[in-house]
Amino acid sequence: MSDLFEKIVSLSKRRGFVFQSSEIYGGLAATYDYGPLGAELKRNLTQRWWQAMVYRHENVSGIDASILMHPSVWKASGHVDAFNDPMIDDKTSKNRYRADQLIEDHIERLRKKGKDEDAERVYEALVAALNSENMSQGLYDIIISEEIKSPDSGVADWTDVRQFNLMFATHLGPIQEADNKIYLRPETAQGIFVNFHNVRETARHQIPFGIAQIGKAFRNEIVARQFIFRMREFEQMEMQYFVKPGEQMEAFEAWREKRMQWHVDNGIRAGRLRWHEHEKLAHYADAAWDIQYQFPIGWQEVEGIHSRTDFDLKSHQELSGKKLEYFDQQTQDRYIPYVVETSAGLDRTFLMTLCDAYTEEEVDGDMRSVLKFHPAVAPIKVGILPLVKKHGMPEMAHAVEADLQEHFHTFYDEKGAIGRRYRRMDEVGTPWCVTIDGDSVEDATVTVRDRDSMAQDRIPADNLATYLFDKLRNWKA
């Protein structure tokens, strides 16, 4: 793990963004809990996503489907048969890896060494293997011929490559039998497909229209390291957009642009975002691009934009025997719509937001650690700091806080030197601190300190909310 990544992980724990799940029992691999500040950041991100996707598009409605679904759903979607990752074991260390990722890491190492031609050759072999009939054998052959060694033991003592289904299975009801086996959903999308008609009819949508959803998904990942980047229980923010067949590429391009802009609008540096085209298209897709972010652990996917054709609706129609067609009143056409989906990981968006905001800088000879969040996503918007604990300052500070709580998440702190209190607020990314001093009590003015410039404005306490709203609206990184 890079130093920077370690610092972010440690800050997350120390300041209450993310904790290991069940920590007092030694934790549970690849599951995490969001602490007080993490829960706020997550909420702000989901609110902004919902606003951008649902409120700003009249033809997009939101739903909240259940995690448990009829087992036939996963048969129709292809997950029972094909939601596999290729795994390989190191016989010496007994550690397990994803075969395709071992090869990707190898390609990355070749690139770093300037061996671009070799990297390209292996990359082409990887794409061919992923798309071949016998993917496992293809991947195994590359690992052997490239003499790829295990990252832990340093030797090449490999088992065969096997396919591993990532779905978590459980049973419905008290008796565990094969015919009541169900799954925890591995993606939120299927809850949308099976509700296609329900939403279309009740929201009175015509094609093109979208259905959006935020919810948990579960994948029994083979290797789940790297903090909240790859978890076994995570959250997705997905939207499926239904279009007339033939019009999917136009919608695909439009949503691609909007989704990239959303991340930039959240304050993420555009230079750390890029597009990546899938090497292998999923069985249902006719185009697929990922938005990647330059994490301290390298460029990694945050969101996928996929053109899913009519695969899902068509297979649900076949397996359920229920028509999932759309009838266009104007043209009198009847068809199964095509689908463009935008599928963002909430936890990865969270991690990206933390990484992008994390800053260390020198101020007057001291180092300060600041999270330069966009104020709209900052867990605490305003710190309320009475200069001292007497002379009416705490009383006035509480009154100011009560006023601001109507609109913003605030944090009251009267303990310690004011400089230290500012630093504590900087460290968790609070964009503004309101200080109440001796003059405030006399003339009803307060000081607002800006996290990034550290400049201070003196303003009437009555204008505070309006002042902060203006700042929020006009904020530029």
Which residue ranges make up the site for ligand ATP (CB under 6 A)? 187, 219, 221, 230-231, 234, 236, 301-304, 343-345, 347-348
With respect to ligand ATP, which residue has the nearer C-beta, 284 or 326? Answer: 284
**Can you tell me the distance from the alpha carbon of 319 to that of 126, in angstroms, rounded to the nearest whole number?**
34
Least Å from the CB of residue 83 to ligand ATP: 9
With respect to ligand ATP, which residue has the nearer C-beta, 232 or 316? Answer: 232
Least Å from the CB of residue 284 to ligand ATP: 11
**Can you tell me the distance from the alpha carbon of 369 to that of 184, in angstroms, rounded to the nearest whole number?**
40
Residues paired with residue 445 on neighbouring β-strands, in sequence order: 460
Token couple for 62: 């939101």
With respect to ligand ATP, which residue has the nearer C-beta, 248 or 342? Answer: 342
Please give the C-alpha separations between residue 147 and each of 134, 140, 222, 331, in angstroms, as whole numbers: 20, 10, 22, 59
**Can you tell me the distance from the alpha carbon of 112 to that of 123, in angstroms, rounded to the nearest whole number?**
14
With respect to ligand ATP, which residue has the nearer C-beta, 231 or 404? Answer: 231
With respect to ligand ATP, which residue has the nearer C-beta, 279 or 452? Answer: 279
Least Å from the CB of residue 230 to ligand ATP: 4
Which residues does 283 contact at the CB level (< 8 Å), separation at least 6? 78, 82, 311
Q: Which residue is nearest to ligand ATP, using beta carbons?
A: 345
Least Å from the CB of residue 200 to ligand ATP: 24
With respect to ligand ATP, which residue has the nearer C-beta, 308 or 449? Answer: 308
Answer whether 232's CB lies under 8 Å from 270's CB: no
Least Å from the CB of residue 207 to ligand ATP: 24
**Can you tell me the distance from the alpha carbon of 42 to that of 344, in angstroms, rounded to the nearest whole number?**
13
Least Å from the CB of residue 234 to ligand ATP: 4
- Does residue 375 have a cis bond before it (omega within 30 degrees)? no
Evaluate the CA torsion angle 367, 32, 379, 211 in order and state its sign: positive
Answer whether 72's CB lies under 8 Å from 180's CB: no
With respect to ligand ATP, which residue has the nearer C-beta, 38 or 375? Answer: 38
Token couple for 153: 């033991």
With respect to ligand ATP, which residue has the nearer C-beta, 233 or 325? Answer: 233
Closest to 130 in 3D by CA, of 149, 103, 169: 103
**Can you tell me the distance from the alpha carbon of 56 to that of 43, in angstroms, rounded to the nearest whole number?**
18
With respect to ligand ATP, which residue has the nearer C-beta, 185 or 449? Answer: 185
Residue 156: how many other CB atoms lie within 10 Å = 15
Residue 35: how many other CB atoms lie within 10 Å = 17
Which residues does 323 contact at the CB level (< 8 Å), separation at least 6? 317
DSSP string, 404-430: HTTTS-EEE--SS-HHHHHHHHHHTT-
Closest to 251 in 3D by CA, of 275, 259, 303, 346: 259
User: Regarding beta strands 96-98 and 84-89, do their DSSP bridges make them parallel or antiparallel, or are they unpaired?
Assistant: antiparallel
With respect to ligand ATP, which residue has the nearer C-beta, 236 or 266? Answer: 236
Q: Where are the beta strands (DSSP E) in 270-365?
A: 273-277, 287-295, 298-309, 326-328, 333-335, 338-345, 358-363
**Can you tell me the distance from the alpha carbon of 112 to that of 106, in angstroms, rounded to the nearest whole number?**
10
Answer whether 374's CB lies under 8 Å from 267's CB: yes
**Can you tell me the distance from the alpha carbon of 216 to that of 390, in angstroms, rounded to the nearest whole number?**
48
With respect to ligand ATP, which residue has the nearer C-beta, 9 or 404? Answer: 9
With respect to ligand ATP, which residue has the nearer C-beta, 40 or 187? Answer: 187
Q: Is 377 helix (H, G, I), strand (E, B) or coil?
A: coil
